[in-house]
Amino acid sequence: MQSGYEAGINFFDNAEAYAQGKSEQIMGQALWELGIPRSDVVLSTKIFFGSSPSPRPTARGLSRKHIVEGMSGSLSRLNVDHVDVIFAHRFDSSVPMEEIVRGFNHILDRGWAFYWGTSEWSPAAIEEAHDVAARLRLIPPCVEQAQYSVLHRKKVEMEYRNLCLRKGMGLTTFSPLACGLLSGKYSPGAPIPEGSRFGVERYKFLADRWLQEDKIQAAARLNAMAREVGVTSAQLALAWCISNPSVSTVITGATDVSHVKENVGALSILPSLTPVLKSRIETAIGSHSGVAMGTQPA
């Protein structure tokens, strides 16, 4: 966090479910120990899954009860009196939309957050939230947090782009390296690198989703292109996401300082990410992006 902050990063994202709340505790402790002024950073967290391994039905979801109690728990773990953005981590079909909108507006009215947003909601649910907020004269969600990478494009480019433009919403994206597949560590036929996320048992579902031969081959072609232009595969993949004007910010992950520095280095190659190079990237990835070839990012 210190390395990122010194490099100019000012947005730090979290969630009640990450490590059952321990992630929020660690981030809050880091902010305090580093002496980072609260006004210097945009801090966000997410509510839905609860903060225990097997939460009771009343300690998860988007009922007014859990929105309020979950927010209170997150603030306590982060050791702050407010976050800048509170996200609904998923949509809750068991709760009326009016209750969800009123619940998050209660959080805003209490000053526990300045804005609220959604994460992995369908466009239809986001539309409904805006309609309910307008009818009740309340504040609608102002941002969607969606997965976006050169291997996962369809939702952002085909579903969210026009919606966010019409509603004036921001678009915060995560997993720009496809859970690490685009980091350059994976090669066709090679074993899973020791210590990587895909080698951890609890992330086996991610390995099943991403470690498919055709996707590994596509990632290898991107890696070869990155070497050709003198950057790392991760930097090329990150720059590609950042270059989309519809994207407000790109959330990156890191397990050590070297990763932070490498990620920040993606900003320096943006000027060289020409339409010709983007077209070559699309050709290299092919149909694995979920968007028809020839469709340029928004």
Q: How many Å apart are CA 181 and CA 178, to the nearest integer?
A: 5
Q: Which residues have C-beta within 8 Å of that of residue 15, sequence separation ≥ 6?
A: 23, 24, 45, 46, 47, 49, 87, 89
Judged against a pLDDT cut of 90, whether residue 290 lies above it is answered with no
Element holding 125 (H helix, E strand): helix 123-136
Per-residue confidence (pLDDT) for residue 153, from 0 to 100: 93
Among candidates 98, 102, 122, which has minimal Cα distance to 110? 102
CB 225 within 8 Å of CB 284: yes
Reported in sequence order, the residue ranges of the chain that DSSP labels E, i.e. its strands, are 11-13, 42-47, 83-88, 113-119, 143-147, 170-174, 249-250
- Tokens 């002024």 label which residue? 37
| Average pLDDT of the segment spanning 267-273 | 92
Q: Looking at the domain assignment, is residue 209 inside a domain?
A: no
Q: Looking at the domain assignment, is residue 73 inside a domain?
A: yes
Q: Looking at the domain assignment, is residue 61 inside a domain?
A: yes
Mean pLDDT value across the chain? 91
Q: In this structure, what CATH number is given to the domain that contains residue 10?
A: 3.20.20.100
Question: Among all residues, which ones are annotated catalytic?
Answer: 18
Give the pLDDT band of residue 204 (cuts 50, 70, 90).
confident
Domain that holds residue 136: 1-141
Each residue's pLDDT tens digit, 12-60: 999 999 999 999 999 999 999 999 999 999 999 999 999 999 999 999 9
Among candidates 275, 268, 272, 294, which has minimal Cα distance to 283? 294
Residue 78 CB neighbours (<10 A): 24
Domain count, the chain: 1
Q: Looking at the domain assignment, is residue 15 inside a domain?
A: yes
Q: Looking at the domain assignment, is residue 128 inside a domain?
A: yes
- The DSSP bridge pattern shows strands 143-147 and 170-174 to be parallel
Per-residue confidence (pLDDT) for residue 184, from 0 to 100: 85
Phi, psi (deg, nearest 5) at residue 212: -110, 145
Phi, psi (deg, nearest 5) at residue 255: -110, -10
CA 161 to chain centre: 16
- Tokens 């992006």 label which residue? 289
Give the pLDDT band of residue 298 (cuts 50, 70, 90).
very low
Q: Looking at the domain assignment, is residue 137 inside a domain?
A: yes
Amino acid letter, residue 159: E
Q: Looking at the domain assignment, is residue 27 inside a domain?
A: yes
Per-residue confidence (pLDDT) for residue 291, from 0 to 100: 54
| Average pLDDT of the segment spanning 165-185 | 93
pTM of the model: 0.91
Q: Looking at the domain assignment, is residue 296 inside a domain?
A: no
